[in-house]
Structure 1
Amino acid sequence: MESRALATLLLPFIGALWIAVAPQRHAKVLCSLFALLATLGMASLAWGWYAAGQQDTVITLYRYGDAELFGFVFDRVSLLIGFAVVFLGLLVSIYSCGYLTSGNREHPHEGTNRYYAFLLVFIGAMAGLTLSSTLLGQLLFFEITGGCSWALIGYYQQPKSLRSALKALLITHVASVGLYLATAWLFAKTGTFALSAISQLDSADKMVVFAGIMFAAWGKSAQWPLHVWLPDAMEAPTPVSAYLHAASMVKVGVYIFARAILATDDIPHVIGVVGLVMATFTLVYGFLMYLPQKDMKRLLAYSTITQLSYIFFALSLATFGSRMAFEAGIAYIFNHAFAKSLFFLVAGALSYSCGTRMLPRLKGLMRKTPLLGIGFCVAALAITGVPPFNGFFSKFPLFAAGFSLSAEHLWLLPLLVITLVESVASFAWFLYWFGRTVPGEPSEDVAAAAPLPATMQGVLVVLIIMSLCSSVFAALWLQ
């Protein structure tokens, strides 16, 4: 397991170095190849853990004295989320091979070595973060993802994209101060960086560590007031938006919060209260902000902020001892990654074929481009939690756990009602845009749509299937 984990972690970095010196024509092939190898590595880790009896395992790789510096943790959470982020990295790599070409009607451009190298580094960093057994390891890969996001958001080298990249880097780096604080405090109190050491802390020290982790999580996962970088980050190429801002980077925050919860018992309830209140406020704010959006990517950015609030809501409920809420949060991370990636990549396909992603200019997708019409429909239904799509099987246990806890904590009821109302309202809003864009006679832009490359079509088909089936995988894995 140790050797396979190291290979899974290091292969994307090795691939990035190879791409940096390879001819440009080989970059996309090398990126997809090393992303595939990393995906196979993560799948082999998951299979090895499952075949060995599903025993949670921690392997310490580096220590200094009694202090654990870095190691791997293999359990149902790290392997499920680790596989999702690496597999989606592979899909985005394949999609990029078709998207970043001169045939793209909105951004005619051949992908450079820089793009594919940073994408691989990001995949490797996400593998390292999900498997890390120490706060110091999480901090290292947290910062690597920040640097990669700066490079990929500003990829087109336009003034607006460069400003957006710098904004994302600064805000998420400010948020990382919380993780620095949590890491230093844990070491000062326990003499180690191991996540498992959080359980040794007293209540006051746990509050400090969790407060630092939560602040870092708010920044990375775009929660108010540290959310402002995410809408502007839509200046990135759409495959980057799909990976960083739906599947991986924005999931870093909720993941490190989930791992801290999993590592300890008796979490101070004030952490859960603050998490629930902030998640509810951010959820309503995000919904109100995506109502006036006409640019499909900006609408999806604010929708992502809202969906991340649901995950924070579930994990905050878990601090009160609800196993169902915790598993709902983990399943939400997994399921949302596929559904929102599908939505972003549908937006990218519209940009590629129609030359625009402005919703008022898009109509009649089903007649001209049925795959995109189906993808739009499936993604909208999955995101808003309509059965039998994967979002329903994340939202239902979240509300079930919340209403169960409200019998003991009556103050939860207003928050749950607000969250439930937003869920219904978001379905109505996406249904409105579905009616405006998918059925009917094609608009001028849609009628002139160019065919999509086979790589883009294949990825969309896989994500449509996963938006229907991923909840089954999550439920079987987490049981």
Structure 2
Amino acid sequence: MENIALTTLLVPFVGALLTACSPKQQAKNICTVFALLATLGTVALGWLFLAGGKTDATYTLVSYHGVALFGFTVDRISTLIAFAVVFLGLLVSLYSTGYLTRGNREHPHDGDNRYYAFLLIFIGAMAGLVLSSTLLGQLLFFEITGGCSWALIGYYQTQKSQRSAMKALLITHVASLGLYLAAATLFLNTGTFSLSALSQLQGSASYIVYGGILFAAWGKSAQLPMQAWLPDAMEAPTPVSAYLHAASMVKVGVYIFARAILEGGNVPHVIGWVGIVMATITMVYGFLMYLPQKDMKRLLAWSTITQLAWMFLALSMAALGSKQALDGGIAYIFNHAFAKSLFFLVAGAFSYSCGTRLLPKLRGVMSKSPLLGIGFCVAALAIAGVPPFNGFFSKFPVFAAGFTLSTEHWELIPVMVLALVESVASFAWLIYWFGRVVPGEQSPEVAQMAPLPWAMRAVLVVLVIMSLVSSVIAAMWLN
């Protein structure tokens, strides 16, 4: 399994080198092929893990004087999330081959080699971070994703996009200081960087390590007080927004927090309560901020911040000892990646075919493009948590865990009631925009919309299906 894991990690980096050196017309094809190979690697890794009876395993690849510097952890969580981030990278690569063309009405432009090369590097970095068995490995790939996000957010090279890219780089790099502090403290107290050593921490060292990881997670996952970079990052090409800001980069934070809770087992309850309080504040703030948005991508950016707060709420309750909340939080990471990617790529399809993402200008989509109408509907219902879509099976375990845990901690009751109100209000707001966009008489922009390339249509179909079945995959794999 360690050879398959290492191959899965290295293939995107090799592909990025070849993509950067290839003729421009071949870059998108090379990128897609290597993203496919990496996806097959995650499938093979999962197959071997399943064939071995789902037995957790850790492999050390790089060590110095007996200190593990980098290795792989293969378990239910790492294999599930690795598949999600790499497979979605493949879908975004394929989608980009249609989106980044002269036929795009908002951004008529053929994708450059650097776009596809950085996309592959990002896929490889995500695979490395998810599979890493050491805090030092997580830190390395944490920083690589930050550099790639800077390059991809500023891809169009406008003054606004470059400013947004720098903001994302600076905020997430400041957040990484928490991970540096956590890694140093872990090594000083246990003599190793292995995540498994988190369970050995006692006293103040435990607070410093978990606090540093939580701080880094807040920055990467755009939680208060470090949320400002994500809405501005919508200056990136829409496929980048779908991948970095829905499926992968923003999931780095919640993933490293989940991994720390899983490996540690004795998380200080103060860390859990701090996480719960900040998640609740972020959830309400994010909801209020996306109410006035008319640009579909900015609305989805604030919605993503709110959804990430749900994940932090679940994981923070797991820090209080709820296994149901931990499983629910992991399932939420997996399910939300597909549903929100679908929503972003529907927005990209509007940009491509209509030349605008402004919701008031998009009306009567269903009669002109049933695929986009269905995609919008499915994504909205999935994000709102309506059965049978995957969002319901993400939120329900969080509610169940929260109300169960409230028998020991009554303070959770108002938190869960507030979360329920936010969920219902989000459903109402998304249905409101569904009624304004999907049915009715066609607006001039929709009436003149251009047909979508086959690659974009195929990806939307796959994501519609995954928004229905990903919860089944998560439930079967985690149990």
Aligned pairs (5 A) from 1:6-405: 6-405=6-405
Alignment match, 2:411? 411
Alignment match, 1:461? 461
Shift of 1:203: 3.2
Amino acid corresponding to residue 107 of structure 1 in structure 2 = H
Amino acid corresponding to residue 435 of structure 1 in structure 2 = G
Amino acid corresponding to residue 173 of structure 1 in structure 2 = H
Amino acid corresponding to residue 274 of structure 1 in structure 2 = V
Secondary structure in structure 2 of the residue aligned to 1:349: helix
The TM-score, its normalising length taken from structure 1, stands at 1.00
Amino acid corresponding to residue 468 of structure 1 in structure 2 = L
Q: Which moved more, 1:64-73 or 1:447-456?
A: 64-73
Secondary structure in structure 1 of the residue aligned to 2:265: coil
Shift of 1:44: 0.2
Secondary structure in structure 2 of the residue aligned to 1:107: coil
Secondary structure in structure 1 of the residue aligned to 2:410: coil
Check whether the contact 1:167–1:229 (CA below 8 A) recurs between aligned residues: yes
Mapped partners of 1:192, 1:464: distance in 2? 44
Secondary structure in structure 2 of the residue aligned to 1:59: strand
Mapped partners of 1:238, 1:65: distance in 2? 46
Mapped partners of 1:60, 1:19: distance in 2? 30
Check whether the contact 1:328–1:397 (CA below 8 A) recurs between aligned residues: yes
Shift of 1:66: 2.6
Shift of 1:3: 1.1
Mapped partners of 2:279, 2:407: distance in 1? 21
Structure 1 ranges of 4+ moved more than 6 A: none
Structure 2: stretches of 5+ with no match in the other structure:
none
Amino acid corresponding to residue 145 of structure 2 in structure 1 = T
Between the aligned residues of both structures, percent identity stands at 73
Secondary structure in structure 2 of the residue aligned to 1:79: helix
Amino acid corresponding to residue 380 of structure 1 in structure 2 = A
Amino acid corresponding to residue 7 of structure 1 in structure 2 = T
Q: Cα RMSD over matched residues?
A: 0.5
Secondary structure in structure 2 of the residue aligned to 1:253: helix
Mapped partners of 2:267, 2:348: distance in 1? 42
Amino acid corresponding to residue 357 of structure 1 in structure 2 = R
Alignment match, 1:432? 432
Mapped partners of 1:99, 1:425: distance in 2? 33
Shift of 1:206: 1.1
The TM-score, its normalising length taken from structure 2, stands at 1.00
Check whether the contact 1:203–1:267 (CA below 8 A) recurs between aligned residues: no
Amino acid corresponding to residue 436 of structure 2 in structure 1 = R
Secondary structure in structure 2 of the residue aligned to 1:111: coil
Mapped partners of 1:142, 1:347: distance in 2? 28
Check whether the contact 1:66–1:191 (CA below 8 A) recurs between aligned residues: no
CA offsets 1:279-313 (integer angstroms, 9 cap, x no match): 00000000000000000000000000000000000
CA offsets 1:59-105 (integer angstroms, 9 cap, x no match): 00111113110000000000000000000000000000000000000
Secondary structure in structure 2 of the residue aligned to 1:109: coil
Amino acid corresponding to residue 331 of structure 2 in structure 1 = A
Mapped partners of 2:171, 2:150: distance in 1? 11
Amino acid corresponding to residue 178 of structure 2 in structure 1 = G
Mapped partners of 1:377, 1:21: distance in 2? 41
Mapped partners of 2:464, 2:351: distance in 1? 19
Shift of 1:204: 2.2
Mapped partners of 2:465, 2:301: distance in 1? 23
Secondary structure in structure 2 of the residue aligned to 1:60: strand
Secondary structure in structure 2 of the residue aligned to 1:226: coil
Secondary structure in structure 2 of the residue aligned to 1:391: helix
Mapped partners of 2:452, 2:20: distance in 1? 28
Secondary structure in structure 1 of the residue aligned to 2:69: strand
Amino acid corresponding to residue 243 of structure 1 in structure 2 = Y
Mapped partners of 1:108, 1:75: distance in 2? 43
Mapped partners of 2:265, 2:238: distance in 1? 40
Mapped partners of 1:268, 1:175: distance in 2? 21
Mapped partners of 2:319, 2:175: distance in 1? 22
Secondary structure in structure 2 of the residue aligned to 1:399: helix
Amino acid corresponding to residue 238 of structure 2 in structure 1 = T
Mapped partners of 2:45, 2:366: distance in 1? 41
Mapped partners of 1:444, 1:62: distance in 2? 59
Check whether the contact 1:211–1:271 (CA below 8 A) recurs between aligned residues: yes
Check whether the contact 1:187–1:193 (CA below 8 A) recurs between aligned residues: yes
Mapped partners of 1:369, 1:106: distance in 2? 18
Check whether the contact 1:146–1:172 (CA below 8 A) recurs between aligned residues: yes
Secondary structure in structure 1 of the residue aligned to 2:390: coil
Check whether the contact 1:94–1:455 (CA below 8 A) recurs between aligned residues: yes
CA offsets 1:243-282 (integer angstroms, 9 cap, x no match): 0000000000000000000001221100010000000000
Amino acid corresponding to residue 67 of structure 1 in structure 2 = V
CA offsets 1:400-449 (integer angstroms, 9 cap, x no match): 00000001100111111111100000000000000000000110000000
Amino acid corresponding to residue 208 of structure 1 in structure 2 = I
Shift of 1:320: 1.2
Secondary structure in structure 1 of the residue aligned to 2:155: coil
